[in-house]
Amino acid sequence: MNAVLCAPAHAARALSCAALAVSGLAFAVPAHAAGELTLYTTREPALIQPLISAFSAQSKIQVNTVFVKDGLLERVKAEGTRSPADLLMTVDVGNLLDLVEGGVTQPVKSSALESAIPANLRGADGQWFSLSMRARVLYADKSLPLTSFRYEDLAAPQWKGKVCIRAGQHPYNTALVAALIAHDGEAKAEQWLRGVKANLARKATGGDRDVARDILGGICDIGVANSYYVGQMKAAKEGSDARKWGDAIKVLKPTFASARSGGTHVNISGAAVARNAPNQANAVKLLEFLVSEPAQALYAQANYEYPVRKGVALDPIVASAIGELKVDPLPLTEIARYRKQASALVDKVGFDQ
C-alpha cells in the first residue's frame, strides 16, 4: 500500500507541493511505465509523500513505502535475497555508506544521475546518490555585527560562554567533526573540540531549534544548526514560539579556514538501489525522477532543503534568510571516512558531559 501518513504541520504544504509536481512538465520517467517498487525509508513518510505521489502520477508505477525508523541495515541483511526492498532512502551520508559497506546495495550507471548530482555528492562507483542537502550553518543573535564566520572560530576565546549546540555525538555534529579532521587533521580537530567545549554556554544537548530558542533567551549568542530548521521556524505561525526563535537569529554560512576554495559543510538525504531489488529498473526510474528539476524543486519547497541539482530555485524563505549555497568541495566519502574517529574524539574530550 502507498504511504499516506502526513504530519499535521506539513499537511497543507505537502498537498500543494504534490499538486505542483503533478501539474509539471515531463519528468525523467516514461509516460506509460507500469509496475511497482518498494521503498524502505528512514525519512518520515510525510516529508517524501508529495514526491512519491508525483512520481506515481507520471509513471503509473506504484510505490510501496515502508518506514523503517531504526535498524535499516539489519533488516535488509536479515531479509537477504527474499527482501522486497528496491530502493533504500536515508538521511546522513554515514548511514548511506553503512548500507554500502554492509553489502546491501548495488551500483547504478545512469547518465541522468551523473549529470544532475555533483561528483562530491555521490559514490564514485554508483552505489549511492545524494537527493537533497542541509547545510550546517551558524545561528547568531541578529544584533551581532557578524558578516562572515569560519567553523574554527567557534573555538575562539571571544565566544567563551556564548556558544550553544546539540550533543556532539549526534550524527549532524560527528559529521562536522569528521569534516574538521579531513581538513585539518585529528590533532587540530581535538584542539578545536576542546575550545568549543570551553565556550559552551550550556551543556551540549537538545535539538537544533533549541539553539535559536536559547539565543532569543539570552543564554548564548551563537550556535551551529541545520539550515532547514530556519525555514521551519520562519514559516511558523505568527506569534508562535518557533516563529519568535526564527525571527531572533540571522544565519551565516561558515567555511573552513584551511579550505582554499571555501564552501560550507553539508549533510544529505540520499538513496541507494538495494542489492536484491526485484524491481531494479523501476528503482532507478524513481532515483532519476528524484533528481529531475520538478522533483528537486519539491525538495526545496516541502522541507526547506537545498537541491543537489544546480539551477533549481530555493524556497523563498531559505533564499531570503540564508541564500545560495557554496558547498565544501571535499567529497562526502572522504569526510565520512573519519566519522568513527570523530565520535571517539567527542568522547575523549568529554564534549557531552
Q: How far apart are CA 97 and CA 308, in angstroms?
A: 18
Q: What integer best gives the mean pLDDT of the chain? A: 90
What is residue 274's predicted lDDT score, i.e. its pLDDT? 98
Q: Is the pLDDT of residue 341 over 50?
A: yes
243-250: average pLDDT: 98
Rounded mean pLDDT, 161-190: 96
Residue 7 has pLDDT above 80, yes or no: no
Percentage of residues in the chain having pLDDT higher than 70: 90
pLDDT interval class at 16 (50, 70, 90): very low
pTM of the model: 0.88
Residue 272 falls in which region: left (phi positive, over 0), alpha (psi -120 to 50) or beta: beta
According to the model, what pLDDT value does residue 260 have?
Answer: 67
Nearest to 138 by CA among 77, 55, 231, 221: 221
Q: Are 98 and 91 in contact (CB under 8 A)?
A: no
SS3 content of the chain, % helix, strand, coil (to 5): 45, 15, 35
How does pLDDT run across 58-93, given as a tens digit for each residue? 999 999 999 999 999 999 999 999 999 999 999 999
- CB-CB contact of 353 with 167 (8 Å): no
Q: Which domains does the chain have, with CATH numbers?
A: 8-133+267-314 (3.40.190.10), 135-263+323-348 (3.40.190.10)
| DSSP H/E element including 191 | helix 186-199
Mean pLDDT lowest among 27-36, 101-110, 217-226? 27-36
Q: Give the pLDDT band (50/70/90) at residue 303.
A: confident
Q: Is 24's pLDDT higher than 80?
A: no
Q: What percent of the chain has pLDDT over 90?
A: 85
Element (H, E) at 198: helix 186-199
**Range of lowest pLDDT (135-144, 257-266, 304-313, 340-349):** 257-266
For residues 35-41, average pLDDT: 97
What is the mean pLDDT of the segment spanning 135-145? 97
pLDDT at 189 over 60: yes
Over residues 125-131, mean pLDDT = 97
Question: What phi, psi does 166 have (nearest 5°)?
Answer: -80, 180
Of the candidate ranges 10-19, 199-208, 251-260, the one whose mean pLDDT is the lowest: 10-19
